[in-house]
Amino acid sequence: MQNDYILNAFQAYVDTIIPRTPGLAEVYGYIQYYGALDLQVDQFLLYNFEHVSMSSAELAALLLNAAAVQWLVNQGYEGRGSLDLLPPSDRLSAIMLLELQQMDPRLLSEEFLNDPGLMVMLTDTLLYYTLQGYYSEWAGYGTTRLNPPQERVLEYFPLSWEQVGYPGPSLGYRVLRTVDIS
Amino acid sequence: MNENYDADVIVIGAGGGGAVVAKELAEKGVKVLILEAGPWYGNAKWPNPNSEHGADASSNYEDLSIDILKKCFTDLENDMNDLVTGKLRWGPADRNRPPWTRKGGFVWQNAGVGGTTLHYFANSPRAFPQAINNIWPISYEELIPYYERVEGQLPVHEAPVTPKEEMFYYGAKKAGWQSGCGPNLTQPCYRQQYNAILEVNPRINDPDFDIQNNSGVGCTLRGHCVNGCHIGPTVEAVAKRSTLVSYIPRALATGNVQVRPNAFVIKILTVEDSERGERATGVIYKDTWTGASTQLNAKVVVMSAGGIETPRLWLNSQLPQNPWVGKGLTNHWFDTVSGIFDEKVVMDVLGVSDIWPYAGQNSAGRLDIPGLGVMITMGMSPGIFATLNYGTSSSGFSSLLTPNTEAAWNVEGLVAGEQLKEFMREYRRTLSLLLFIDDDVSQSNEVVLDPNQMDEYGYIPVIHYQPSEQDVAKREQIATYAAELLRAAGARTVTRANWPAELFIHIMSTMRIGYVVDTNCEAYQVKSLFIADNSVLYNGIGGPNPTLTTQAMATRTADKIWDIYFKQ
């Protein structure tokens, strides 16, 4: 399967979980505009899904698109669909069908029917990777971010850390308090 | 030592339990060989532990290298803790190879010398006496001298107070909870953690203290317990007392211990003894880099591979059937509840603008409620923080749920979209509480082998865990208490994650004392085979973090092994 198919699904997913937010930017400053697509978190998903013992990037993408089809069916539509072709405002509702395991098994490929835990595992993992990819230091690896882990070098201070006010790793903080709690 | 043996005792796993039993036996003169599946960080024989095989073994204290440890432990949360590629994952040293597979949920464990204590918070409370007395086959009083030995050895201290704990204690007091209690807890009580972290460097608040070039001893409140601590002038003086820096150095110093990392044990060897029945004689392990198999023989074998791998190894070794092998899993079924505070409130209570979840020890305050469970403060770097507070739930996305106006929290479930960014923007003024309950033992909660899927070390483990109705009620209750505490402290927005049951952190009681092992922790059905890890606990010890109790039990088991097999 083409990486494009997988990346389209992953891009639609990460953009739903951590979108660009012009509204927040207006209130709190421009740094708050950027979202998961700006940090290419879809590539983090692809890398990690491809580096487990049973590569599951394709299955995860199939699952996301099956959720889109399920959502369309639930709205009374028929036919084919994919997460990236749903309007952004409806994508979270489609993903919710996975979170709540409200999928019609007939819309799922064979792998999911043979392994009842697979959908739960992939659904949990998609979100875990998205939050890790965005809020950890990963994006700061810049041009080395898709290298093998031993060959990554921190090139930038991650934009997401700026958004949340995390100063980055430290050797110590002068924050000891003297409080009698007894 | 008998010349047919490779060691007097082989210990499988250099984690929270194995390192303890090894050090205690070695100090009595017993020759011990530890086999550890993961890498060794901070040893001159493995200057690049993730990219080169390095040596086969180390038995010399002088091999320990703080410089290598500092190079390996980068403080970066993805580099250290990513479940797929992290240095502290459950997988082989070679990070280009995939992690080891388990089915049935996420298991947050580390492979490596130190085991899961590499990233644990170092919380070291004792069990609740009421969860032991008249329930376990040994009494709480019998455990006390072993607790004291471990507490002295690690050592265990009262944790320091930083802004996040001060806010927690303020809320606990306002919510009506009592403080002022000793280590043997019988009543609800909030208190500073007893943890295995060296006391704070006494100069930490001194503006002239040079944090960047600090070569002193003591915690510096930098918030990287979970990402692997390396603060200290030598490996043995590192602030957070994982067994990598506490029991392993002491074990090496005896001259009686050899540790082989990158050695995954795949089989326990036994013989049928006409007088005593089946007895363990050794193990077969595979080198995780080369795949080469090696057989080793010893008088005694100790399984310390953890709550999942110990039963897995028993089953893959086709040791005798026992209806409780792998059964009775407890896991404390965790949850998180967090409060976001306005700056003015933080200023009024603490006199500073922020709670700073990333500053101070990852978890330094707790409220224990015997009969129900525990809540602890939890401050983390932003990736792990976002995942545990907003990205782990069985409720689905909060924005799509009908708000529950009866609940003590404003928001339940996964947080996504603009709301996630809005909440994360207030990360610095968020106080998170990690909750865990005293969950019931049930024989249907288990670790079994997948009947079909194997990896290079045998059939892979599958976990089944379903909380009881009582567990559900307990967790709702403690989540409500947590939300009320945060409200009492003045939180504006309180969120509750509602974690699914399939996330495993405190994996306990899968090889229970009294069922699989006798009161000496020797297997009923296989003589000379002992167990020293979380799996021998009879239950979830009432809710407290299990490591100290496992280490007390491992100390006791070492004494028993000595008495039965080596004392002249």
Task: Enumerate the residues of chain B whose CB falls inside 8 A of the CB of residue A131.
Answer: 383, 386-387, 390-391
Neighbours of B278 (CB within 10 A): 17
Residue of B196, B177, B175 lying closest to B185 (CA atoms): B177
Q: Cβ contact (<8 Å) for A137 and B79?
A: yes
Q: Cβ contact (<8 Å) for A92 and B391?
A: no
Task: Enumerate the residues of chain A whose CB falls inside 8 A of the CB of residue B100.
Answer: 53
In a domain, A169, yes or no: no
pLDDT-based confidence at A159, cuts 50/70/90? very high
Q: What is the overall mean pLDDT for chain A? A: 95
Count of domains for chain B: 1
Task: Enumerate the residues of chain A whose CB falls inside 8 A of the CB of residue B73.
Answer: none
Check residue B47 and report its DSSP letter.
S
Q: What is the pLDDT along chain B (568 residues), one digit of tens a residue?
A: 777 899 999 999 999 999 999 999 999 999 999 999 999 999 999 999 999 999 999 999 999 999 999 999 999 999 999 999 999 999 999 999 999 999 999 999 999 999 999 999 999 999 999 999 999 999 999 999 999 999 999 999 999 999 999 999 999 999 999 998 889 999 999 999 999 999 999 999 999 999 999 999 999 999 999 999 999 999 999 999 999 999 999 999 999 999 999 999 999 999 998 888 999 999 999 999 999 999 999 999 999 999 999 999 999 999 999 999 999 999 999 999 999 999 999 999 999 999 999 999 999 999 999 999 999 999 999 999 999 999 999 999 999 999 889 999 999 999 999 999 999 999 999 999 999 999 999 999 999 999 999 999 999 999 999 999 999 999 999 999 999 999 999 999 999 999 999 999 999 999 999 999 999 999 999 999 999 999 999 999 999 999 999 999 999 999 999 999 999 8
Which of A28, A95, A131 to mutate to test binding with chain B, by most B CBs within 10 Å of its CB?
Answer: A131
Residue A1 has pLDDT above 60, yes or no: no
Tokens of A171: 């050797």
Q: Cβ contact (<8 Å) for A16 and B76?
A: no
Instruction: Taking residues A130-146, report their average pLDDT.
Output: 98
Query: What per-residue string of b and e applies to B317-329 under the rule 16 or more CB within 10 Å gives b?
Result: bebeebebbbbbb
Does A35 contact B at CB distance below 8 Å? yes
- Cα separation, B47 vs B45, in Å, equals 6
Contact B368, B544 (CB under 8 A): yes
Contact B46, B63 (CB under 8 A): no
Does B498 contact A at CB distance below 8 Å? no
- Identify the pLDDT of residue A75: 94
Task: Enumerate the residues of chain B whose CB falls inside 8 A of the CB of residue A19.
Answer: 417-418
Does B500 contact A at CB distance below 8 Å? yes
Tokens of B326: 């792998």
Contact B125, B183 (CB under 8 A): yes
* A15: nearest CA partner in chain B: B417
* A18: nearest CA partner in chain B: B417
In a domain, B422, yes or no: no
In a domain, A176, yes or no: no
Q: Cβ contact (<8 Å) for B386 and A131?
A: yes
Task: Enumerate the residues of chain B whose CB falls inside 8 A of the CB of residue A166.
Answer: 358, 381-382, 427-428
Looking at the complex, report in whole angstroms how far the Cα of residue B200 sits from the nearest Cα belonging to chain A: 8
What residue numbers bound the domain in which A23 lies?
Answer: 3-164
Residue A86 has pLDDT above 70, yes or no: yes
In a domain, B380, yes or no: no
Does A75 contact B at CB distance below 8 Å? no
- Cα separation, B227 vs B120, in Å, equals 9
- Identify the pLDDT of residue B439: 98
Does B502 contact A at CB distance below 8 Å? yes
Check residue A39 and report its DSSP letter.
T
Which of B73, B83, B84, B388 to mutate to test binding with chain A, by most A CBs within 10 Å of its CB?
Answer: B84
Where in B456-524 does DSSP place strands (E)? 458-464, 493-496, 503-504
Which of A122, A164, A180, A182 to mutate to test binding with chain B, by most B CBs within 10 Å of its CB?
Answer: A164
Interface size between A and B, measured as CB pairs under 8 A: 221
In a domain, A171, yes or no: no
In a domain, B524, yes or no: yes
Residues 331-360 of B with CB under 8 A from A: 354, 356, 358-360
- Identify the pLDDT of residue A117: 87
With the C-alpha atoms ordered B347, B349, B351, B354, is the resulting torsion angle positive or negative? negative
- Identify the pLDDT of residue B403: 87
In a domain, B215, yes or no: no
Residue of B316, B382, B333 lying closest to A39 (CA atoms): B382
Count of domains for chain A: 1
Q: Cβ contact (<8 Å) for A163 and B96?
A: no
Does B228 contact A at CB distance below 8 Å? no
In a domain, B428, yes or no: no
Please tell me which of the candidates B106, B221, B383 has its beta carbon nearest to residue A136.
B383
Share of chain A above pLDDT 70, in %: 98
Please tell me which of the candidates A52, A121, A150 has its beta carbon nearest to residue B84.
A52
pLDDT-based confidence at A181, cuts 50/70/90? confident
- Cα separation, A103 vs B291, in Å, equals 41
Name residue, tokens 């060897």.
B269
Contact A69, A61 (CB under 8 A): no
Which of B384, B424, B428 to mutate to test binding with chain A, by most A CBs within 10 Å of its CB?
Answer: B424
| Residues in contact with B290: Cβ distance below 8 Å, sequence separation at least 6, in sequence order | B53
- Cα separation, B183 vs B194, in Å, equals 8
| Residues in contact with A75: Cβ distance below 8 Å, sequence separation at least 6, in sequence order | none
Tokens of B489: 């402290």
Task: Enumerate the residues of chain A whose CB falls inside 8 A of the CB of residue B427.
Answer: 164-166
Does B160 contact A at CB distance below 8 Å? yes
Phi, psi of A149 (to 5 degrees): -55, -30
B436 sits in which H/E element: strand B430-437
In a domain, B317, yes or no: yes
Per the DSSP assignment, residues forming a β-bridge with B431 are B339
Q: Cβ contact (<8 Å) for A127 and B212?
A: no
What residue numbers bound the domain in which B263 lies?
Answer: 7-124+227-325+508-566
CA dihedral A110, A115, A116, A120 (to 10 degrees): -90
- Identify the pLDDT of residue B276: 81
**The pairing of beta strand B293-303 with beta strand B529-531:** parallel
Task: Enumerate the residues of chain A whose CB falls inside 8 A of the CB of residue B103.
Answer: 117, 121
Report the SS3 class of residue B537: coil
In a domain, A153, yes or no: yes
In a domain, B78, yes or no: yes
Residue A179 has pLDDT above 90, yes or no: no
Residues 125-154 of B with CB under 8 A from A: none
Task: Enumerate the residues of chain B whose CB falls inside 8 A of the CB of residue A134.
Answer: 383, 386
**The pairing of beta strand B263-273 with beta strand B458-464:** unpaired
What's the CATH number where B319 sits?
A: 3.50.50.60
Phi, psi of A138 (to 5 degrees): -55, -45
